[in-house]
A and B are shown apart, each in its own frame.
Chain A
Amino acid sequence: GAVVSQHPSWVICKSGTSVKIECRSLDFQATTMFWYRQFPKQSLMLMATSNEGSKATYEQGVEKDKFLINHASLTLSTLTVTSAHPEDSSFYICSARGGKNNEQFFGPGTRLTVL
C-alpha cells in the first residue's frame, strides 16, 4: 500500500512552546489530508480535514488558533500545536487520501508529551 510518513515520531516539550508535526504522502498525491488525535484506549478523534491550497475545516470543539494546519502541497501537511499545555499531550495521527480508489492511508503517528 501507499506510504504516509510523519515526523517526528515522538516529541517532548515544555508547556508554552509550539510543536510542528509533518505529514507526507510519499508515493501518491493526496487530494485530502486529515489530522486525528487519540487518547489512550480511545477511538480516533478527527480534528480537521484539509485540501491542498485551501484552509482546513476543523471539527466542532477543535480550536483552529491552537492547532494550525497548513496543507502546502499535494504531498505535505503540517500541524502546529501552539502554546502547548499538558492536556495537549496525546497521540496525533495524520492521514492522506488519494489514488484511483480514493483510498485512505495513515501515518505512524506522533506521540506528544507536554511537561
Chain B
Amino acid sequence: KQEVTQIPAALSVPEGENLVLNCSFTDSAIYNLQWFRQDPGKGLTSLLLIQSSQREQTSGRLNASLDKSSGRSTLYIAASQPGDSATYLCAPLRTGGFKTIFGAGTRLFVKA
C-alpha cells in the first residue's frame, strides 16, 4: 500500500526565500507524480506532472525533481512570494493504478 509523507508539515518564511518541499513515497513503481497546490476553501490546482521516466520538470519559479528509486520528489520554489501561500500536495500514481494517493501536504505561509 502506497504511503506518502511530506516534510515539513508547515513552513513560514519571509518573502524572497528559496524553498524546498519534500515528498517521499513507499512504492516506487509509479507511473507519474503530480504536485498540486490548494488554497483555503478551494479545489486543487495542478502545478507540475513528472512522468516516471523523467527526473525533473520546471514551470516558472517552480521546479520538481523525481528520484523514483529512492521514492522521493522535491518541489523547489524560487524567490517565494506571498501569493505562494497555500498547501502543497504531492501525489504519486502507481503504475497500473487508478487512485492517486495524497500526502498530508505542506502548509506554506510567505510573509510580505
Residues of A within 8 A of B (CB): 1, 4, 6, 32, 34, 43-44, 46, 49, 51, 57, 91, 93, 95, 97, 101-109, 111
Contact = CB atoms under 8 A, between A and B. Distances in A.
Interface stretch (B20-28, B64-72, B97-105): B97-105
B41 A111 contact: yes
A92 B42 CA distance: 10
A93 B99 contact: no
Tell me what chain B mostly uses at the interface: helix, strand, loop, or mixed.
strand
The residue in A34, A51, A105 that gathers the most chain B C-beta atoms within 10 A of its C-beta is A105
B31 interface: yes
Nearest to B51: A101
B36 to A, nearest CB: 7
Interface residues of B, number: 22
Interface of B: 31-32, 34, 36, 41-46, 49, 51, 89, 91, 93, 98-100, 102-105
Contact of A49 (B45, B99, B104, B105): B99
Contacts of A44: 44, 89, 102
Closest 8 CB pairs of A and B: A106-B44, A106-B43, A108-B43, A109-B43, A43-B104, A103-B49, A93-B43, A107-B43
